[in-house]
Chains A and B, each alone.
Chain A
Amino acid sequence: MTAILEGRNIVKTFTTRRGGQKHEVRAVGDVTVAADRGEIVGLVGESGCGKTTFSRILIGIETASSGTVLHDGKPVATKADWKALRRDVQYVFQDPYTSLCPTMRIGEALAEPLLVHGIGDKSERAERVREALSLVGLQGFIADRLPSQLSGGQRQRVSLARALMIRPRVLICDEIVSGLDVSVQAQVLTLLTELQASLGLSLIFISHDLRVIRYLCDRVVVMYRGEIVEQGPVERVFGAPESDYTRGLLAAIPDHSRRGEPRLGLRPAGHEGARLA
């Protein structure tokens, strides 16, 4: 089967200047990840491992230094290719406080993707807004509200609804449950699994929380310092991790189901922060 969305051999280097000298930072080094139809792929790793940069390259917010993004098996090269890709792939950002325009009513914010892609007339758009709100479990009157009048959980549902407006086939979710309370997080995770099942969506789900990845994903890709250290079905990676880094990460998870066993002692931070391996 051809993957709907694939980043193949993606490399991204940033250039910084320090004291007049150029330094190259390799944020992503030769990473290949593909999502099949209806599949939930988890990208996991610590801050700075390149997971967000990689996912931004997938929809063209960042440009890869080298490597190819493939949409339905075809390389995305021209402006028209990217437009077609964004018609199919939508991105949900981490922070529901900064990703919604504070002066735009929720209804307008939800209708905007339809305007951008030239879909429907005014009444059709209003209908789609109502549909999308009910899809994410929000009532119709929310359309008249401003983001400041909503709770964090409601805003994250609105962000999801906005990403679903143009009926994409792939959602890229960047840490979308990280800032939420546990009970709200459970509501959003449940919603995601329902949407995936009913709409046949593929998800690229980025998180640093391995418990959430374990729960939600079919397959997981573990990244460290811009490279993939391990990937495979979640049962295998969590049950029998092959890399020392994955083992270290798993041992570092606080888990109330683990009976009083202390977490693995991790090496103290060196100059560049923590190293697990």
Chain B
Amino acid sequence: MSADPALRFEHVTIAFPGAEGPLKVVNDVSFAVGSGQCLVIVGESGSGKSMACQALLGIVPAPGAVSGQGIFWEGRDLLKSSARDWMKVRGAEIAMVFQDPAAALNPLMPVGRQIVDVVRAHRSVTRAEAERRAIEVLNQVGFPEPERRMRAYPIELSGGLRQRVAIALALACGPKLIVADEATTNLDVSIQAQIIGLLRSLKEELGISIVFVTHDLGLAPEIGDEVLVMYAGHAVERGPVREVLDRPSHPYTIGLLNSAPTLESSRAHPLKPIPGQVPALDEIGVGAPFRSRCPVVVSGRCDSAKPDWTACGGGHFVACHRFAQDGIGGVQ
């Protein structure tokens, strides 16, 4: 990570009102992204990863409340921004690519026109200039024959092309940070490889920072510099991608890796699924969030206190009582 990260998400909590007090869908989570770097946030349904993304764009739906030390973007605290300031940042400096391009695009409007609208919302340019910009970004994302095909409606495009349009939309105003929420999840592997290659080239050639959210740990080494693993609203492990994948240290990260079939796996070596289900948010209480499914619970500690970060070396940290007590041997 660079010395002066472009984005710092510091001790942020996102809470929704529940029957018995607030439900923290994101619970005291911190991360930072250096400029031109990519942070991969890995987590399953309900981990809070998408909510954290929405906080980065100031689009957490009501009645969700975002609090914490701050979301610092190039020195400014976005948490303290007015709705007007957000309008200037969102789409222009920080842009988002959503999971489902079919739902993110307006079905009744040609795709080029949608890009033109975004450009004109943020810049005072003529329609012709905005159209030139649309063609330019469509070219950048490898959209074939943009002059002609920008008049196509979303339904006339394949899933891969729609996702390219969604990325072009995000690029239209020259953002410095792109938040990609499961942006490759429903695509075929070959298209997925192309979209990841595209995002990587944006990072490497244009110096754009990326927050890449996925449930597939296998994607982390393809694009990420750092990885953050989330479980039930908590950050449980973080560090450089290779460090975390080579020496996974949180029992949840290990469980996730053991659950995922790889090209070398076969029925002769059965998967080891994590038993049980993700607990409801109001069941987590004060202890370690993973304790109800954890094979290496430290009795007396895991149900009474949230674990702090323990350094594993090489910029790799894990929030686990067992690791803090016994090191990696205790966890595996």
Count, chain A residues at interface, CB 8 A:
50
A249–B189 contact, CB under 8 A?
yes
> Interface-forming stretch among B51-59, B73-81, B124-132, B212-220?
B212-220
Nearest CB in chain A to that of B184: its residue: A254
Min CB–CB distance B187 → chain A (angstroms): 9
In the complex, what distance in Å separates the CA atom of A249 from the CA atom of B220? 19
Given A183-B44, A193-B270, A249-B189, residue A265 in contact with residue B218 (CB < 8 A) = no
CA A187 to CA B159, docked complex, whole Å: 29
Give chain A residues whose Cβ lies under 8 Å from the Cβ of B188.
46-47, 208, 274
Least CB separation from A234: chain B residue: B266
Chain A residues with CB under 8 Å of chain B are 46-47, 151-153, 181-187, 189-190, 193, 208-212, 214-216, 234-235, 238, 248-250, 252-258, 260, 262-266, 268-274, 276
B259 CB-CB contact with A under 8 Å: yes
* Contact across chains for A189 and B197 when beta carbons are under 8 A apart: no
Query: Is B45 touching A269 in the complex (CB atoms < 8 A)?
Result: no
Q: Sorted from nearest, which 9 A-B pairs have the closest CB atoms?
A: A186-B259, A186-B273, A215-B261, A181-B44, A254-B218, A46-B188, A257-B262, A211-B261, A252-B193
Can you give 9 contacting A-B residue pairs, CB < 8 Å? Answer: A46-B191, A187-B273, A190-B270, A210-B263, A216-B261, A256-B257, A263-B193, A266-B190, A268-B142
From A184, A255, A265, name the one whose CB has the most chain B CB atoms within 10 angstroms: A255
CA distance A254 to B145 in the complex (A): 29
**With an 8 A cutoff between CB atoms, is B330 at the interface?**
no
Nearest-CB residue, chain B, relative to A151 = B277
Q: Is B144 a contact partner of A270 (Cβ separation < 8 A)? A: yes
Residues of chain A with a CB closer than 8 A to B217's CB: 182, 256
- Whether A211 and B44, one on each chain, are in contact in the complex, defined by CB atoms closer than 8 angstroms, is no
Cross-chain contact A181 with B45 (CB below 8 angstroms): yes
Q: Are A250 and B194 within 8 A (Cβ)?
A: no
B281 contacts partner chain A, Cβ-Cβ < 8 Å? no
Indicate whether A274 sits within 8 Å of B245 (C-beta atoms), given known contacts A182-B260, A263-B222, A269-B144: no
B267 contact from A152, A193, A262, Cβ within 8 A: A193
Q: A214's contact among B193, B258, B261, by CB below 8 Å, is which?
A: B261
Question: In the complex, what residue of chain A is closest to B42 when comparing beta carbons?
Answer: A182
A276 cross-chain contacts in B, Cβ below 8 A:
190
Please encode chain B, from 147 to 167, with 1 for each CB lying within 8 Å of some chain A CB and 0 for all others.
000000000001111001000
Which residues of A have CB within 8 Å of B274? 183, 186
Contact B271 A269 (CB under 8 A): no
Contact check, B262 vs A260: say whether CB atoms are below 8 A apart.
Answer: no
* Cβ-defined contact, B263 with A274, below 8 A: no
Please report the C-alpha to C-alpha distance between residue A210 and residue B263 in the assembled complex, in whole angstroms: 8
Q: How far is the CB of A277 from chain B (nearest CB, A)?
A: 11
Chain B residues whose CB sits within 8 angstroms of the CB of A190 once the complex forms: 270-271, 273
Whether B265 is near chain A, meaning CB under 8 Å from some CB there, is yes
B324 close to A (CB within 8 Å): no
Give the residues in chain A near B45, CB-CB below 8 Å. 152, 181
B192 within 8 A of A: yes
17 more A-B contacts (CB under 8 A) besides A183-B256, A214-B264, A260-B221?
A153-B277, A182-B216, A186-B258, A186-B273, A186-B274, A190-B271, A211-B263, A214-B261, A254-B218, A256-B221, A258-B263, A260-B242, A262-B222, A266-B190, A266-B197, A273-B191, A274-B160
- Give the Cβ gap from A250 to chain B, nearest Cβ, in Å: 7
Could you tell me which residues of chain B, from 235 to 254, have a CB within 8 Å of some CB in chain A? 242, 245
Interface flag for B123 (CB, 8 Å) = no
Distance in angstroms between the alpha carbons of A256 and B270 in the assembled complex = 17
**Which residues of the partner chain B approach A208 to less than 8 Å between Cβ atoms?**
188-189
Distance, CA A209 to CA B189, complexed state (A): 8
* A214-B266 in contact given A256-B245, A274-B188 (Cβ < 8 Å): yes
A19 to chain B: closest CB distance in Å?
A: 14
B255: Cβ under 8 A from any A Cβ: yes
B194 touches which of A47, A183, A215, A269 (Cβ 8 Å): A269
Q: In the complex, which residues of chain A have a beta carbon less than 8 angstroms from the beta carbon of B219?
A: 254
Q: Min CB distance, B293 to chain A, in Å?
A: 9
How far does the Cβ of A13 sit from chain B's closest Cβ, in whole Å? 21
> B202-235, CB under 8 A of A: which get 1 and which 0?
0000000000000111111110000000000000
Closest Cβ of chain B: how far from A75's Cβ, in Å?
33
Q: Which of B145, B191, B267 contacts A216 (CB 8 A)?
A: B267
Q: Mark B256-299, 1 if CB is under 8 A from A, else 0.
A: 11111111111100111110010000000000000000000000
